[in-house]
Every structure is written in C-alpha cells, then in structure tokens.
Structure 1
Amino acid sequence: MKVLFLDPIHKVWEFFRGLTANPALIYLTAVARRDFNIKVYDAYGETSRPWNKTAEYLAKERPDVVCMPGSLPSFWYDVLNAGRLIREILPEAKIVTGGYISNQLWREGLSSGYLDYIVMGEGEITMMELLKSINSGASDMSQIEGLAYLKDGKPFLTAERAFIDDLDTLPMPAFDLFPMNRYSLAPFGGNIGFTANFSRGCVGRCKFCSETLLWRHCRRGHSAEYMLEVLSTLRYKYNKRVFYIGDDDFLHDPDRIEKFTELAIKTKLDVKMWIQTTCRNVVKHERLLAGLKKAGVYQVMVGIESPKPKALQVLNKPQDFDMVMRALETLKPHEFIIMGMMMWGTPFDTMQDLVDNLEFLNEHCDIIGPDAVTPWPGTPYYDECEKIGAIEVRDLTKYDMTNCITRTAELSAIEADYYYKKTVGKHLMFNKKFLGNYLFSKKPLYRTYVNMFVKMGWSFFTMKPWTQKNYQSFEEFFPEYLAKKASYQMQKTGVLTRTK
C-alpha cells in the first residue's frame, strides 16, 4: 500500500514570511515509514504553480492513502480543496487528516465528501492502526480509538485516544524525507532558520488558546537528551543554526531545561534559540536564565497580552500587572531580545486600549508581537463571543491573529481591522526605539527583526498584504484544471481531433 503525506500550499503567516516543515508531519512520517511505503510531498517547496504540480504528482504516484495536516483554521479550506483534487484524480484513494481545526470541524469535514477519516487528538498510534486496517481491507474502524469517519452515511466518533506517556518512545523526526534545503524563515536569517518542538500542550487555561484545548490542559515533554539529539542533527546535517522552539511554555519543567542547558554547553551545540514561556515561570525559574543564555537562547517571548486587568480577566490570563513587570525586569539583565506578545480586539477593547498596549510594550520590550485576538473555534473565548453575537467574520482564512474577527467596544469588526492595521502599521514603521536599537543594539538578529517588522508595518498601514511568490489560489487553478482534463478526455475518446 502506497501512503502519501501531503502538505498542500497555504498562504504563509505574515509574522514569519517563510517556509518550514510541518511539525506534525515530521513525526507522523517517522512512525509510518516503519511499516509502510511512504512518500512526502510538500507543496511549500514548489517555487511556482504548486496546485498544478500537486496534481501532476498525485497522477504520477497514485497513492492509495493520502494524509494531510489539518491544524490551523486559516488552512482549513486548503485541506478541503486538496481533498477535492485528490477525489478528482484518485477517486478510490482514502483521504485522512487531523489536527486542531479538523478536530473542531470534524462533522463538517466528513460531510464535505472530501475526507474519509479524521484523526482526533494525538496522531501517531491512531494513524498507524488506521493504516494497518485499511491495508488489511477491514471495513469496521469502530474499535480504533481517536477516529472520526462516516458510518452509515453519518459522522461517527470513536472512543477518545489516551495520550502517549513517553514522547521519547517516538522515533526521531523524519527530516530526511523533507526538502530541507528549501525551507527559509526571514526572522532567522533565511535558510539557516528552522522550527523545533520538544513538548506537547500546556497546563494553562487561557480562554483563547487552541493548544491547551487540543491537548486537554496537560503537558508532556521530550527528555533533554532527545532535545540535544534533534538540534544536533539539524545543526550538523542540515546546517540549521537558528531555531524557533515551539513549546508553549519552555520553562514548565525546570529540571529538564537545566539538564538540557548543561548538555548544550558541554557539547558546544553552537545554535541560537528563540523560546516562549509565561511571565510566571520567568520569575519562578530565574535561576535558569543565565545558563540558557550561555546555551544559545537569544530571544524570550512572553505572553503579556495587555497591561490592563480587564483584558487579562477576559482572556483568563493567570497573571497580573505586577507579575508582568517582575518578569520583564527579571529578563533584562540577561540581554535577551524580549518579545512581548499583545492581544487586542476583544468585544471589550477600546481604541485607546490598543494605543496603551503598544506604548507599554514599546517601553518595556525590544520587539512587539501585535496580535489581533482570534476566537479559535471550540475555545471558551469563541463560545463567549458567539453567545453575545460579537463574531462578525466567518471566513476562516482570516483566523490567523492578523485580522480582527469580532466587534470591539466601539467598532465593528471591519472598522476594528482598519484601525488595528493602521495603528499597528504606523507603530512598526515609525518607531524611534526600533531605529535606535537597529543602529546600536548588539543583540543577535535584532536588525533582521526590525527589517521584517518594518515591512510588515508597511503592508498593514497601506492595507496591501504581503505577496507570497509561490502562492497559487485553488479558485484560479481548479476550473482551468477541470477544463484541460475534459478536453484531454474528449481528445482521447476521439470526440475532438487535433488541428495544425
């Protein structure tokens, strides 16, 4: 049985402006290749006409099963479109997806006719049981935990799958199956940058967070030895030297981090790392910061969201203003780039709140992550916004934290989005502190960040979104593809003849 792991083309996130391997697929493929003939096709790696080339690849390889990630709301339509294309080319192939947004919209996804199975929750064990069942010709999948599919024509959900206790039992990510030389991330200096994940989940209960929802408010992590092995492989085999560590709270397990720090220093790992954590754990685990700096951590991202108590209460952030200030003061002596994350755009936020948030973060942080709070489907925040009729944008391609989705205290969603982009764009472009640091800061990669944020500010302020050179919309591709296919079939059957 031939199994294809496909990552369809998506619009790249504005904040990163680059390409990296899908973090779910590098794990799933490592497990699947133990027992199956698998291939990977990452449409991100195509420099032009990615939908056309995806169609050509599918027609050439003709896999029996196609597995795709379905994590981000803004990518959901791409998953469905890819399913539609697969149905057109390979009507007998089984189509599988999984991840956060597919788990929230599993009924709609299965009812679309473009998906056969949706893996619910953690994917490795469920996927392997599903592939083995398909390969054996089994028709009853009801005993496979963590799976959704159509049963008697209706969406059906099996029992919940328990999480893997020890993540180190999973094989090393299958980097060798991916086009590693094509991945490039602007904030990290180009193709020397990459992403890595060493834990799953968070114990927090922030109302807007999809991660804590997906992982049921629990957190598991790889060992320090595993972390070192992954980063060493990426550093010395693929020349990746600057990493965004995707762990939701890197400092959650201090013993693990202390051991990792010791190993990284001892082995002279020679990489730079951008981590994210909570204000609370910065203060609680201050003793780890000096070692992390020595091990290569150059940037710490903290979820400040807002200095205002009302906003923190609405978002259920487990911190107050005093905790935020203590965290920022704790970080400063270590000369990290401090990135403060902002959330604005709730139904209770005012126009002045946005100005105040930006001014506060500008005063106390080196870099600002100016997010528009997005009501991720399934989260408590989404439910609360829905209950009061605040959600005014339903297009999931806009659910990416750069667009206002709900009305605010004074503005409609459309008005709020205009105000947000104009205000944030102006702040990013005409920031005296950014300019001063650009000229004189000795912090690694700071100039790279300023360059990127100025460009992002320009696209916000002018309301002209950044153009992704390799992007191709499905709406432009598919009608032309169907027309060419119909013409070819008519020629093949002799209905049409070629003329010179």
Structure 2
Amino acid sequence: MPSRRPDVLFIKPGSQKQLYGSLSDYDLTAIEPPLWAGILGGYLRGLGYGVEILDAETDGLGWNEVAQAAVDRGALLTVVMASGHNPSASTMNMTGVGAIARRIKELAPQAALALTGLHLSALPERSLREEAADFVIQGEGLRTLPPLIDALKAKADAFAGIPGLWWRQDGHIMPGIMPEMWKDLDTLPMPAWDLLPMERYRAHNWHCFDDVTRRQPYATLYTSLGCPYQCSFCCINALFGEHRLRSRGVDSVLAEIDFLVNTYGVRNIKIMDELFAVNEKRVLELCGKIASRGYDLNFWAYARVNTVSERMLEAMKKAGVNWIAYGFESGSKRVIEDVTKGYQLDKVLRVAQMTYDQGQHICANFIFGLPEDDYDSMQETNALMQEINAEWANIYSAMAYPGSKLYDDAVAQGLPLPATWNGFSQYSRDCLPLPTKYLSGGQVLAFRDYAFDAYYKNPRYLNMIRSKFGEDTMRHIVKMAEKTLDRDNAVI
C-alpha cells in the first residue's frame, strides 16, 4: 500500500483477451505503455500533485481486481483511460473501462471517478449518461485535471468553467467546452516513465522480425500530436478538436530517446505520430542527430504516400527507422477519392519500391469495406496487397469509429453499428464492420478474413520472409496463420 494517498490514479484497463481472442494466447500482440497516462502523470507531478499509474495489462489483473486495487489506493481522483496506441484502440476499450468504473462505484460510491480518452472526447455526453462515472474529460486533459483536482481538494462542487469537463449536477449532465490545444509541447515535462513497469512492455512481433525473441525492452513516444488531414475513416482529431499538427523540438525528442536508451536499455521504439514523415527538413535534422548517437535502435513510424521522399527514407534508415507504416487503404481509385485520402494510386508502387530500395520494411495498412467498396474494388485492394507483398500487412474492416466522419454519416443514415463497444474490435467475436453502399457488414468481414488468410499463407510471401528474416521468423508466421478467429455466425 502506498504510504501517501495519491492525488490522482490513472488506470489502463487490461483487455488483451477480450479484444484479440485466441491471438492473445500466442504472444502476437504488443504490450504497449499507456503513453497518455505517462504524459499526464509527468505534467501533474511537475505541478506538485501526487500521481500513480496502474497498468492492469502488465499486472495481469481482471476488471474486478483492477477496481479493488483502485479503491485500495484511495486516490482523491481515479481516472480510467480509454486510450490506445492507434485511433481504433479507444472505442473498443470502453467495455473494460465501463466494467471497471461500475465496480469501483459499487465498492466505493463516494470515490471521485473520471473517464478520459479519444472515445470520451468524441462522445462525452453519451459516455456520462451511460457509464458509472462522475466526470468525463474531453480533450487532452492537460487543462482539465489541475483545476479538477484542486476543486476536489477544496471539497467544492464548483466545476463550472473547468475546460473540457463534463459532470453531473442535480441529476443533469453539465456540458463542458473543448479546451484550447496545448500549443508548445516543449513546455511539457518528459512522461513519467518511472511510474510504469518498463521491463514488461514488448514490441509487436513484426517490428522484431529480425529477431522475434528480442521484443523487450520497448517504448513509444510522440514527436508530434495531431494530423492536418481529414480522412473520413479517422477519428484521431476528436481528442484534439482541430485538424492540426503540433511538433516537438528536435532537442526535446532527442533528450527523451537518450533517457529511454540510457535508463531502460530500450532498443525497440514506436514513433506514435499520426504522420511522422511529413516535414522533410525536420525529419532530416532529427534523424541525423539520432544517427549521430550511434545507438542500435529499431524504430517504426508512419508515413504517407504523398509526403514521403527518398531523402527522408534514407535519413530515417540511418537513424534506425527500419519499418515504415503506410496507409495504402485501398487499391481502388474510386474508393480512395471518396474517403479524401488525397494521393494518386500510381504513386503507391513507386513509394513501396523506394522504401525497399533503402533496405526498409513496410507495414502496409489496408481497409476493406469503405463506403464505395464492392466485391470488384475489394479484389483490387487484394491484388494490390499481393503485388506490394509487404513484410507485414494490417488488414482491417472499415469501422465507423466515434469521432470520424464515417460514424457521423452512419448515425445520420441509420446504418447498423456494433451493439457493444467490443464489437468495434477488428478481432472480436461480435465484430461488425460498417456496411458499404453495396455490401453488408458481414460480407465485408468475411472478405477481410479471407484476404488475411490468403496473404499470410501465400508461398510467395512466406518465401520472401524466409529470405529476409530466416526460417525461424517464417515458422513464426506460419504458426500465427494457423490461429482462427471466433466470429459470430449471425454476422458472417
């Protein structure tokens, strides 16, 4: 038991089994640090508040155990976080968030409880109406948490005017106002890495195909927040309120990398930016300085077909950015233009080859079931997947995540959405993708599962993996592909 009652306790729910089913049994998934808990924790601690973080996933705690642990800690404010390491991870974590919140309130009805994360920012009123929480925090939380904690310390019920705060008063939901963005990211302290069990985090299996036994230690970091683009399927900017990119200074990023390497021996790092390879001058400067350190690092980062350049890729490779994640999404010109992706399909193969020529590997992202998809267009996407033959492919169904234009359109049109938040998980039993103009969600899901199976069992793909990474990695993928997902037959 902590000797001092913390001012705030951040909780990351553990949801691997619920979200990934049988895949979670085989060490396929990453265990990623709750970076937003670290960011908020570092900021609040710098202001003098007492902070603790409970990572239920690394501690192997079930939801009832998490709730009991939270009550035992007795924090002035407990914050359960629905945040993940990509835009899709927030909504599907709401099942665990809700279960933990309900149990905390059963055990300690007077405990002050808040919920935060991308999903909460997208649906603050509904979340407060449906979940057993006193507060919902809309936005990043940086401008919301200090005055909220101060009000709780003063035992005051005066929450009006706190930016981003939604709360209940006399049976009514009191709306908050989306707070102003934090403009200068360099004024924030380093995340509170020391409050996290850093030795327990592991990289994705594909991130370490050069040695799948060497996935730890692992860390994630932002060099920028937000995205200036407006892809209709993306919900990331619901957390920020604007379509805008804010970048950290190069020296700030270097200081964090130095700390992670020298303090925890981190080698594998995910750059969390929605779009890292966008500003060539900044990428060249940052990657050049990382390379000059002489570290043995293994990064992966996101790039965009219409912003990446050969000079950027060369500098990134020298810095240790061995994996580039591209959002190719679809092989159909009609489908791509409909979701305002903003690139020409004829550039895709050129960019893929340019990446391979640098000795880098591709994590290719594809989406089946975008609004204009039919069987012919999905076959075009499947053919593009096979032609690129990326070392790893994330093969998704289109989901109408809260905060995206797809979600707003689906609600306005009365389209079927998952009955539970868990149904927004790509791998869950009750997964229900968005229907297209021509296909049902079940038809999309069946095609997606077929395409996944065909990709990872393709002899051309497996031979490429063997030649690049060796027999052990190829067998690792074969074993992975033997796993089957449990799907609801009523959906398929």
TM-score by shorter chain over 0.5: yes
**How big is the shift at 1:286?**
2.7
Match of 2:485 in 1: 463
Q: Which has the larger radius of gyration?
A: 1
Among 398, 403, 414, which residue is 1:373 paired with? 398
Find the aligned partners of 2:204 and 2:281 in 1 and give their Cα distance: 32
Aligned 8 A contact 1:347 1:385 in 2: no
Aligned 8 A contact 1:32 1:38 in 2: yes
Match of 2:422 in 1: 397
What's the secondary structure of 2:16's corresponding residue? Answer: coil
Aligned 8 A contact 1:373 1:401 in 2: no
What's the secondary structure of 1:280's corresponding residue? Answer: coil
Aligned 8 A contact 2:283 2:315 in 1: no
Find the aligned partners of 1:33 and 1:111 in 2 and give their Cα distance: 31
Find the aligned partners of 1:77 and 1:426 in 2 and give their Cα distance: 31
TM-score (norm 2): 0.86
**How big is the shift at 1:299?**
0.9
Among 44, 63, 66, which residue is 2:57 paired with? 44
Aligned 8 A contact 1:64 1:92 in 2: no
Find the aligned partners of 1:323 and 1:271 in 2 and give their Cα distance: 29
Q: 1:194 to 1:456 in 2, by over 3 A?
A: farther
**How big is the shift at 1:452?**
6.0
Find the aligned partners of 1:29 and 1:440 in 2 and give their Cα distance: 44
Q: 1:451 to 1:464 in 2, by over 3 A?
A: farther
Match of 2:156 in 1: 138
The answer to whether structure 1 residue 168 and structure 2 residue 192 are counterparts is: no
Aligned 8 A contact 1:80 1:109 in 2: no
Within 5 Å, which residues of 2 pair with 1:226-245? Answer: 226-245=252-271
Find the aligned partners of 1:95 and 1:458 in 2 and give their Cα distance: 42
Find the aligned partners of 1:421 and 1:330 in 2 and give their Cα distance: 29
Letter in 1 for 2:250: A
Match of 1:357 in 2: 381
Aligned 8 A contact 1:207 1:316 in 2: yes
Structure 1, unmatched stretches of 5+, are 466-500
Q: Deviations over 1:247-283 (max 9, x none)?
A: 111022333222211211222132111111110111x
Structure 2, unmatched stretches of 5+, are 84-89, 209-213, 488-492
Q: 1:369 to 1:422 in 2, by over 3 A?
A: same
Aligned 8 A contact 1:232 1:269 in 2: no
Find the aligned partners of 1:434 and 1:287 in 2 and give their Cα distance: 28
Match of 2:463 in 1: 436
Letter in 1 for 2:32: T
Q: 1:446 to 1:232 in 2, by over 3 A?
A: farther
**How big is the shift at 1:426?**
2.9
**How big is the shift at 1:364?**
1.8
Match of 1:412 in 2: 440
The answer to whether structure 1 residue 181 and structure 2 residue 176 are counterparts is: no
Q: 1:161 to 1:386 in 2, by over 3 A?
A: closer
Q: Deviations over 1:219-271 (max 9, x none)?
A: 11211112222222222221221112111110223332222112112221321
Q: Deviations over 1:412-451 (max 9, x none)?
A: 32343233213322321x2122211222116xx9975x56
Aligned 8 A contact 2:331 2:377 in 1: no
Find the aligned partners of 2:365 and 2:267 in 1 and give their Cα distance: 24
Give aligned pairs, total: 456
Find the aligned partners of 1:196 and 1:79 in 2 and give their Cα distance: 23
**How big is the shift at 1:53?**
3.2
Find the aligned partners of 1:104 and 1:110 in 2 and give their Cα distance: 12
Q: 1:266 to 1:427 in 2, by over 3 A?
A: closer
Among 324, 331, 338, which residue is 2:355 paired with? 331
What's the secondary structure of 2:275's corresponding residue? Answer: coil
Match of 1:33 in 2: 45
Match of 1:110 in 2: 128
Q: Deviations over 1:172-196 (max 9, x none)?
A: 1111101111212342343233322
Match of 2:11 in 1: 6
Find the aligned partners of 1:287 and 1:262 in 2 and give their Cα distance: 11
Find the aligned partners of 1:309 and 1:425 in 2 and give their Cα distance: 25
Find the aligned partners of 1:456 and 1:280 in 2 and give their Cα distance: 33
Letter in 2 for 1:418: A
Q: 1:376 to 1:453 in 2, by over 3 A?
A: farther
Letter in 2 for 1:413: G
Match of 1:258 in 2: 284
Q: 1:464 to 1:160 in 2, by over 3 A?
A: closer
Match of 1:287 in 2: 311
Q: 1:409 to 1:231 in 2, by over 3 A?
A: same
Within 5 Å, which residues of 2 pair with 1:474-485? Answer: none
Letter in 2 for 1:305: E
Match of 2:294 in 1: 268
**How big is the shift at 1:52?**
4.5
Aligned 8 A contact 2:331 2:378 in 1: no
Find the aligned partners of 1:392 and 1:55 in 2 and give their Cα distance: 29
Aligned 8 A contact 1:392 1:406 in 2: yes
What's the secondary structure of 2:324's corresponding residue? Answer: strand
Q: 1:447 to 1:295 in 2, by over 3 A?
A: farther
What's the secondary structure of 1:185's corresponding residue? Answer: coil
Q: 1:415 to 1:360 in 2, by over 3 A?
A: closer
What's the secondary structure of 1:9's corresponding residue? Answer: coil
What's the secondary structure of 1:91's corresponding residue? Answer: coil
Q: 1:50 to 1:372 in 2, by over 3 A?
A: same
The answer to whether structure 1 residue 203 and structure 2 residue 228 are counterparts is: yes
Aligned 8 A contact 1:201 1:212 in 2: yes
Q: 1:368 to 1:186 in 2, by over 3 A?
A: closer
The answer to whether structure 1 residue 157 and structure 2 residue 175 are counterparts is: yes
What's the secondary structure of 2:225's corresponding residue? Answer: strand
Aligned 8 A contact 1:345 1:372 in 2: yes
Quote the sequence identity (%). Answer: 23
Within 5 Å, which residues of 2 pair with 1:299-314? Answer: 299-314=323-338
Match of 2:86 in 1: none
Match of 1:62 in 2: 74
Between stretches 156-165 and 72-81, larger displacement belongs to 156-165
Aligned 8 A contact 1:342 1:370 in 2: yes
**How big is the shift at 1:376?**
0.8
Letter in 1 for 2:164: G
Aligned 8 A contact 1:341 1:369 in 2: yes
Find the aligned partners of 2:204 and 2:227 in 1 and give their Cα distance: 27
